[in-house]
Amino acid sequence: MQKKFITNLALLLLLNLLIKPFWILGIDRAVQNAVSPAEYGLFYALFNFSFLFNILLDFGITNFNNKNIAQNNHLLSKHLSGIVLLRLLLAVVYLVVTLITGYVIGYSAFQLKLLLIMALNQFLASFILYLRSNLAGLHLFKTDSIISVLDRLIMIAICALLLWGGVTNDQHPFQIEWYIYSQSIAYLISVIITLFIVFEKARLKKLKWNATFFIMILKKSYPYAILVLLMTFYNRIDAVMLERMLEDGKEQSSIYASAYRLLDAANMIAYLFAGLLLPIFARMIKLKHQVEDLVRLSFSILFILSTSAAIFAVNFNVKIMQMLYEHHVIESAEVFSLLMCCFIFVATTYVFGTLLTANGNLKVLNYMAATGMLLNIVLNIALIPHYKAMGSAMSSLITQGATAVFQVFFAQQLFKFKVNFPFMGALLVFFVAAELTAWWAKTYIQELNLSFLFCVVTFSIYALVLRIVNFKSLRKEFSV
C-alpha cells in the first residue's frame, strides 16, 4: 500500500505543482492586483460565504462514497445512478438556502447576483469532487490526478487571455465578474468530461429515480455531512465576519485574502494526501492491515513540507508580500505569518483526521469540529473589532492547533500507536535547525530567491540526516 501511495502521490503532486501554484500566484493574484482592494475583498467574502452551506450540495456523500466504493467496488453502478439525481435535488436546496441567507444578512441585488453565480460554481465544483471520489474509490489514481487539474488548466487559459491578451486596458479594465464567469465555463467543461469517464467505468446507461435509495444514502452519509459543515464554518467564516463586522470590512477581507492565498496553495498540496489516503486507509482497515507505517510516512512528509513553509514564511513575510502585491503589503505580511503557522496543524489534520474518517469515528470528529467552530466564532467576535484581519488569523491559529492536537491524541489512543521518542526528537531538532537557518538567511542573504534556494537545500539535508522519512522502508516497498 505504501508503494501505491507514493507512486500515485508523485504523479498527483507533479501535475498539481505544475498547474495550481501558477493559478493561485499567477492568475488569482493578478486578478486581485487588477481590481481595487474593496472589489476583490467583496468577491472574497462572497466566495467564502458560498462555501458556508456547501454541505447541502454534498451532504457528506463524497467522503462516504470514497470510503464505500474503495471497500465495495461492485456498488459503483448502483450508487452512481441514484446519487447523481440526489445531488441535483440537493443543489436546488443549497441555492435557495444560500440566496435567502444572503438576502437576510443584507447583501444588495448586485451582490446577490454575484453570489448566485458563485453558488452555481460551487455546485459544479462539488459535483466534480463527487465524480472524482468514484475514480479514487476504484483506485484509478492516475485518471483522478489528471481530472484534479483540468478545471484550473481551463481557467488559466481563459483568464490569461482576459488579463494579458489585449482584452483589457485603462478604458476597459478587468471586471471581477469576468473572473467568476471563467470559473463557470471551466467547471462546466470539467463536469462533462469527468461525467463521461465515470459513466463509462460504471457502464451506466441511464439514471434511476429511487426515493428509498435516496433516504438510505442520506442516512449513511449525514455524519460526514455534519463533519464537513462544521469544519467549513470554522475554515471559511473568517472573511465573511470581517466583511460584515467592520466599516472597512471589504479592505480587511482583501488583506486577509492576500495573506490566505499562499496558505490556500499549500493546503491544496496537503489535501491531495488526504484524497489518496482516505480510500487506502479504508481498504487497509477493512482488510485489518496495520496502518502505523503509512501514517508515519505521510505525516513525516507533510511535517517537513508544512514546517519548512511556515518557517520560511514567518522569516520572509514582508519580502514575499512585496513580491506578490501592490496594496496593504505590511498588513498582509503580519497576517500571512500567523496563517502560514496554521499550515502545520492543517497538514496534521489531513493525516490523522483522514485516518479517523476512514475508521468511521465520525461522532468524535463531529464533537471536535463543533467545538472548533464555536471556538473560532467566539474568538472572531472578540478579536476582530480590536485586531481586524490579524484577529481572524489569531482565531484560525488557535482553532487549528486545538483540533489538530485532539486528533493526534485520539488516533494514538485508538490505534495504540507507539510513542516514538527518537522520532519526536528528530522532528524537534529539524524545527529548531530550520528556524535558525532561516534566521541566518534573512540576516545575511539579501535576495529572496537565493534565500529560498538556500533554505530548500539545507532543510532537505536536515531531513535526510535526521532520517525523518524512513527511506530504507521506501526502498523495500519499491523493490517488491
- DSSP states of 363-396 as a string? HHHHHHHHHHHHHHHHHHHHHHHHHTHHHHHHHH
Nearest in space to 241 (alpha carbons), one of 44, 57, 104 = 44
Nearest in space to 346 (alpha carbons), one of 311, 312, 396 = 396
Nearest in space to 59 (alpha carbons), one of 208, 198, 229 = 229
Q: What pLDDT sits at residue 463?
A: 92
Nearest in space to 305 (alpha carbons), one of 394, 430, 467 = 430
How far, in Å, CA of 354 to CA of 276, rounded? 10
107 near 244, Cβ under 8 Å?
no
How far, in Å, CA of 378 to CA of 52, rounded? 17
**Average pLDDT of adjacent 10-residue blocks, the chain of 480 residues:** 56 68 80 84 86 75 61 59 77 92 90 93 87 72 78 90 77 83 93 84 66 72 72 76 86 87 80 77 84 88 93 94 84 92 92 89 87 91 92 93 94 89 93 96 91 94 86 49
Residue 420, phi then psi, degrees to nearest 5: -95, 95
Provide the CA 363 distance to its chain's centre, in angstroms: 22
Q: What pLDDT sits at residue 212?
A: 74
168 near 142, Cβ under 8 Å?
no
Q: How far is CA 337 from CA 9, 41, 305, 331, 422, in A?
A: 28, 20, 16, 10, 29
Q: What pLDDT sits at residue 480?
A: 40
291 near 355, Cβ under 8 Å?
yes
451 near 316, Cβ under 8 Å?
yes
Q: What pLDDT sits at residue 76?
A: 59
**Residues written for the chain:** 480
Cell numbers 501511495: residue: 5
Q: What is the pLDDT of residues 360-416, one digit of tens each?
A: 888 888 888 889 889 999 999 999 999 999 999 999 999 999 999 999 999 999 998
The set of long-range contacts for 343-346, using a CB threshold of 8 Å and a minimum separation of 24, is 343/263, 343/266, 343/267, 343/270, 343/306, 343/309, 343/310, 344/303, 344/306, 344/307, 344/310, 344/404, 345/397, 345/400, 345/401, 345/403, 345/404, 345/405, 346/263, 346/267, 346/270, 346/306, 346/400, 346/404
Q: Return the domain boundaries, the chain.
A: 2-418, 419-480
